[in-house]
Structure 1
Amino acid sequence: MKSFNNPMCGSVVLLFVFLASWQWGPGLLGMPEFVLPKLTRVIEEGVIMWQSADLLEHTAITTLEIIVGFALGALLGVLIGVALGLSPTTEAMLSPYILALQIAPKVAFAPLFVMWLGYTIYPKILIAILIVFFPVMINVLSAIRTVDPDMINLVRAMSANRWQIFRLVEFPSAMAALFSGLRIASTLAVIGVTVGELVGGNKGLGFLLVNSEGQGNTAGVFVAIVMLTLIGVLAYGAVVWAEKRVLHYLPKANLSTV
């Protein structure tokens, strides 16, 4: 009986139910294949695309864009979040512009980046940076601002300088919030790169998705969506894995269980 109460067991059961519904549901509902192809048709198309449409190459390009965009966006978010957290004056000056940049729809920037940088990987990376930056920055900023002042006073009483206070108290205290932002950012990076490839890509999974849609190949569209989803899941899992090892000193309840 205990095995049926295991969340992992429940997740596996739900996965099988989903896959079975995908395989036999369209036929039972009378849906034509161009609307919703069954699972085996999508798998067959995936094999064909792997062999003839360079699916591996397109997946590698998209993965590279996501990794670079995520890394640069996260780094920028940490740096600016720390700077704003340590300097209320700087935050007061820059926060309206950062907020305006966040409110502006990122999709609107994609055509501009393509016009400026061409059909290269750089527009996709820039969009990913813009999307990743804000959640990381705001989490780090909030964490720096809410550090226990008693801890700061204790370290200061031990003759610590400003850098030592930051290194020993403020930054470690912000690590949990940083990883919360990174978990969100890891999924947003996939969205940002996909948007860039949809708007102006000649390679990548977003390009394959648009190309399949133009040919009326619904199964090919699902192949691209599945591959993007897998990349997102792996990116999120990598962040959670790193979080559990970096923040091993925290109680498990404070770590992500998703």
Structure 2
Amino acid sequence: MNRPADIAAGGAPAAPRAAAPGGAAARSRAAAARAGARRAASRTALASLGLLALVLLAWQYLPPALGVPKFIIPTLGDCLAEMLRMWRYEQLASHALSTALYTLLGFAIGSLLGALLGYLLGMAPFWEKVLSPYILALQIAPKVAFAPLFIMWFGYNAMPKLLVTVLIVFFPVLVNVLQAMRTVDRDLINLARAYNLGRMGIFLKVEMPSTVPNLMAGLRIASTLAVIGVTVGELVGGNTGLGYLISYGGGQANAAMVFNAIILLTVIGYLLYAALARIEERVLHYLPKAHG
């Protein structure tokens, strides 16, 4: 409804104000940027799919053309046929589910412990200096070498592969969090103290938010290592999981079974990494992104 001031005596209502030209230009630029990003994503996806198609074709036709025996490099068709046989007779779904479950469990426990200790040591520099030599020694030690020891301690069950996974995931998260705690902006901490924030308040309001990018980077690194930890445990002394199928297939000279188990392990690790990348994108949405 028009206000009286907008209507001249005996005249028509005043014309609405025109939209600011700057706002329209900004919206146009934003739309163009989104369209460009979609085109770039489409080109990337097409290039990736094209490369995958070439790899699959080479896998199917190159080994027979070069005279490579099937027990050395099976073709794609051989692997697919073996995958179907494994699904029917080798309980493939159960083995894959076991590996995925312990990958997630070991990743969750190792990440939680690594982040917790990293934050605690970051808040207590004295204890960080005391424990640093021992943490460094454990970090240098090859974690997969602990698998036989864990088997001697706990037997041939799921505990050794879980412990190897926790151990191998623990250190990337710990190191990233601890490094981030060391490099928190001191000016922000001093400003928080000026506002009478206590130690826990400084941690919650300043230190923890500042360390989230490093924490997420550590989690992404750890996600790729979690699959390795589980696989090593299953290879050394497991009787379930995809690592066990690799060991069993190798003993039977069944290269197709080994190929299939490796592919499924890769898929599990990729899905975990992709999920963390998606979470990181949501959590760190405020950070600027690099556009190629």
Query: Is this a same-fold pair by TM over 0.5?
Result: yes
How far residue 252 of structure 1 moved from its aligned partner, in angstroms, is 2.4
Q: Does 1:75 pair with 2:100?
A: no
| 1:181 aligned partner | 218
The alignment-based identity, stated in percent, is 55
Letter in 1 for 2:182: R
**Aligned match of 1:84 in 112, 121, 144?**
121
For structure 1, which runs of at least 5 residues remain unmatched after alignment?
none
2:290 match: secondary structure: helix
The answer to which structure, 1 or 2, has the higher relative contact order (CA under 8 A, 6+ apart) is: 1
Pairwise CA RMSD of aligned residues?
1.6
Distance 1:152 1:4, change over 3 A: closer
Distance 1:78 1:3 in 2: 36
Q: Does 1:104 align with 2:127?
A: no
- Code of the residue aligned with 2:258 in structure 1: it is V
Tell me how far 1:3 sits from its aligned partner.
7.0
> Does 2:274 correspond to 1:229?
no
1:104-143: CA deviation from partner (whole Å, max 9, x where unpaired):
1122210111111112111111001111111111110111
1:167 aligns with 2:191: no
C-alpha displacement at 1:4, in angstroms?
10
CA contact (8 A) 1:3 1:9 kept: no
CA distance in 2, matches of 1:134, 1:106: 10
Separation in structure 2 between the aligned mates of residue 213 and residue 166 of structure 1, nearest angstrom: 51
State which of 4, 15, 20 in structure 1 corresponds to 2:57.
Answer: 20
Of 103-112 and 230-239, more deviation after overlay is shown by 103-112
* Distance (whole Å) between structure 2 residues aligned to residue 176 and residue 50 of structure 1: 41
More deviation in 114-123 or 184-193? 114-123
Deviation at 1:152, TM superposition (A): 1.2
How many residues are treated as equivalent by the alignment? 254
Q: 83, 94, 98: which one pairs with 1:46?
A: 83
Q: Which amino acid aligns with 1:228?
A: L
Query: Which one has a bigger Cα radius of gyration?
Result: 2
Deviates more, 1:183-192 or 1:86-95: 86-95
| Equivalent position amino acid for 1:22 in 2 | W
Specify the SS of the correspondent of 1:6: helix
* Structure 1 residues 201-240: aligned runs within 5 Å: 201-240=238-277
